[in-house]
Amino acid sequence: MKQLILDHTPYCTRAALVENGEMIEFSVEMTSVRGIVGNIYKGKVENVLGGMKAAFVNIGLERNGFLYVGESLVDKNRLHSVMPKPNTKLSSGDVIMCQVVKDQFGQKGARLTTDITLAGYYLVYLPNSEFIGVSRKIENDKRREYLEQLVKSVCPRGGGFIIRSAAEKAGDEDIFKDAAQLISLWGKVQEDFARAPEKSMVFEEASLFERALRDTFSEDVDKIVVNDADIAAQLAGRVGNAQVEAYGGERNIMAHFGLSAQINHLCDHKVQMSNGAYIVIDKTEACTVIDVNTGKFVGTRDLEDTVFKTNMAAVECISRQLRIRNISGIVVIDFIDMMLEEHRNAVVEALREALKHDRLKTTTVGMTPLGLVELTRKKTRLPIDDFMLQPCKDCEGGFVVSDAQLAFMLRDELVDFMIAHRCDTAYVGVYPALYDMILQSGILLKHISTVWADKRIYLYSDGDVCRDRFVLNENKPLDLPENAICITRVDDPSK
């Protein structure tokens, strides 16, 4: 059974895709800082690098976007048009419509394209490309051919569609409706582009919340659970056959479904497997390196069999970690050396099969004599550790758990504390930076307003508290600092 669990707070939205109790995808999007992948801009070409067949385009962000000119050419003599023209070149000062395909990473600006795409529930519209494609996940040849002819019948001249895997079980009317909405949206984008000033956004991609709903169609989700009754009511009839449920329990929704512990371990350096073996994940500037180790697994037959079984178990673990951590770019996996060629081939083939379940494109290269496997995973949005980790102020190059993630951990620990002690009042001491972050972000506000409206939670800053530890008391501390604030209601902490 597949479930989509949505934790909606004023600070951010967290979405977890769960299959049989195990999380297979996890995404976070902050309310104040949304990703820009999918956004469409009216950009101005700042300079063209002939030797790289690339251009830097000002789209109104801190850093210019990067566009490979050889991939998508526009007619600079018709600025209102975005139809690709053969044998044309960009020049500095040209105004173009472009779309972000990769978020900004580090010091690199966003990756851009002029091949615009608009995603729907069953289709992706390609307004500038006469191409009809069908998801490889639709394996029935008759259904593929039928869908291709169906979509061709409604495809505008000069445009194209990619048929998503969700269309395999969709009715004709649903597909027609989706196509009509995307074509209408493209018309609006063109109108907005014509009116928009240079270096401005023309179209904003859907939020994580909306994208999560859209993707449920291709993931065959059975149930959607969200911690907001109003949102649950709005979802009725919008998510296909999936059941929608509003969660209003006392514990946080992620903790209730047993996901908090899984989330807290997402940035662990070492990942333990059920058989006692483990993998180690190291992120470098150029790539991500994953090392496989037997650990406590000793097998039952001989060394070769033990190594083979460890590597096969690691395949499932690695494919899951790539997906839930959103690890992308170049990945090098150091499997344990195997003597038999058939074992090496079996491990590589198992890895390729496991990666077929990933929505992002992956390409796997065969195993080297040293037992190394190289693969690439399409890089679009930021990895999950960009939210869950932050640079350490006490060392150069190191990372620690982010304040935002600590706030979510505090929320779970605080709820469990109040349930265990059956108390209506709690005093919470945290280190100063976390204290400021909680007050400014409102990260606990949703839970407080819906579940704890009748309770008193006093938050105070304490410089003696370790940054990843919390002090919880049901009785007022004798040395309660003056900075103590009741975050559930306006109150005097001295009472």
Instruction: Tell me what pLDDT residue 203 has.
Output: 92
Tokens of 422: 């059956």
Question: Which of the residue ranges 249-263, 296-310, 328-342, 415-429 would you say has the lowest mean pLDDT?
Answer: 296-310
Instruction: Tell me what pLDDT residue 450 has.
Output: 64
pLDDT band of residue 47 (cuts 50, 70, 90) is: confident
Instruction: Return the H-helix or E-strand segment holding 426.
Output: strand 425-430
Task: Round to whole Å and give the CA distance between 390 and 373.
Answer: 30
- For the chain, helix, strand, coil in percent to 5 are 30, 30, 40
pLDDT at 297 over 90: no
Q: Where are the domains of the chain?
A: 2-34+207-261, 40-113, 118-203, 268-377, 391-486
CATH fold of 268-377 reads Aminopeptidase (3.40.630)
Phi, then psi, of 353 in degrees rounded to 5: -65, -45
CATH fold of 391-486 reads Hypothetical Protein Ychn; Chain: A, (3.40.1260)
Instruction: Tell me what pLDDT residue 390 has.
Output: 82
In the block, tokens 């807290």 appear at 264
pLDDT at 246 over 80: yes
Which of 187, 235, 240 is closest to 216 using CA atoms? 240
In the block, tokens 């002090």 appear at 471
Encoded amino acid at 164, one letter: R
Instruction: Tell me what pLDDT residue 32 has.
Output: 63
The whole-number average pLDDT for the span 23-29 is 86
Phi, then psi, of 41 in degrees rounded to 5: -125, 155
Tokens of 475: 């009785």
Instruction: Tell me what pLDDT residue 83 has.
Output: 37
CB 429 within 8 A of CB 397: no
Instruction: Identify the three-state secondary structure at position 407.
Output: helix
pLDDT at 452 over 60: yes
The whole-number average pLDDT for the span 243-256 is 86
Instruction: Tell me what pLDDT residue 218 has.
Output: 61
CB 57 within 8 A of CB 36: no
CATH fold of 118-203 reads Ribosomal Protein S5; domain 2 (3.30.230)
Question: Which of the residue ranges 58-62, 375-379, 437-441 would you say has the lowest mean pLDDT?
Answer: 437-441
Question: Which of the residue ranges 40-49, 94-103, 109-118, 294-303 would you say has the lowest mean pLDDT?
Answer: 294-303
Task: Please state, in angstroms and as integers, the Cα–Cα distance from residue 413 to each residue in 428, 439, 471, following that order.
Answer: 11, 18, 10
Share of the chain above pLDDT 70, in %: 88
Burial class from Cβ neighbours inside 10 Å (0-12, 13-18, 19+) for residue 442 reads middle
pLDDT band of residue 161 (cuts 50, 70, 90) is: very high
Which of 248, 177, 171 is closest to 8 using CA atoms? 248
Task: Please state, in angstroms and as integers, the Cα–Cα distance from residue 112 to each residue in 80, 201, 351, following that order.
Answer: 18, 13, 31
Look at strands 160-163 and 22-30 and give their pairing.
unpaired
Task: Round to whole Å and give the CA distance between 414 and 255.
Answer: 12
pLDDT at 52 over 80: no
pLDDT band of residue 446 (cuts 50, 70, 90) is: low
Instruction: Tell me what pLDDT residue 69 has.
Output: 67
Instruction: Tell me what pLDDT residue 84 has.
Output: 39
The whole-number average pLDDT for the span 247-276 is 88
The whole-number average pLDDT for the span 383-400 is 80
Task: Round to whole Å and give the CA distance between 485 and 69.
Answer: 56
The whole-number average pLDDT for the span 239-255 is 83
CB 458 within 8 A of CB 488: no
The whole-number average pLDDT for the span 352-378 is 88
Alpha-helical segments (H) within 220-257: 229-235, 253-256
pLDDT at 179 over 90: yes
Which of 58, 66, 65, 67 is closest to 89 using CA atoms? 67
**CATH match for 2-34+207-261 among 3.40.50.720, 3.40.50.2020, 3.30.420.40, 3.40.980.10:** 3.30.420.40
Computed over every residue of the chain, the mean pLDDT equals: 83
Give pLDDT tens digits for 314-344: 999 999 999 999 898 899 999 999 889 999 9
Instruction: Identify the three-state secondary structure at position 456.
Output: strand
Give pLDDT tens digits for 183-229: 999 999 999 999 999 999 999 887 777 777 776 656 678 888 988 88
pLDDT band of residue 78 (cuts 50, 70, 90) is: very low
Which class in CATH covers the domain with range 40-113? mainly beta
Task: Round to whole Å and give the CA distance between 361 and 438.
Answer: 37
Task: Round to whole Å and give the CA distance between 215 and 208.
Answer: 10
Alpha-helical segments (H) within 236-337: 253-256, 260-264, 303-325
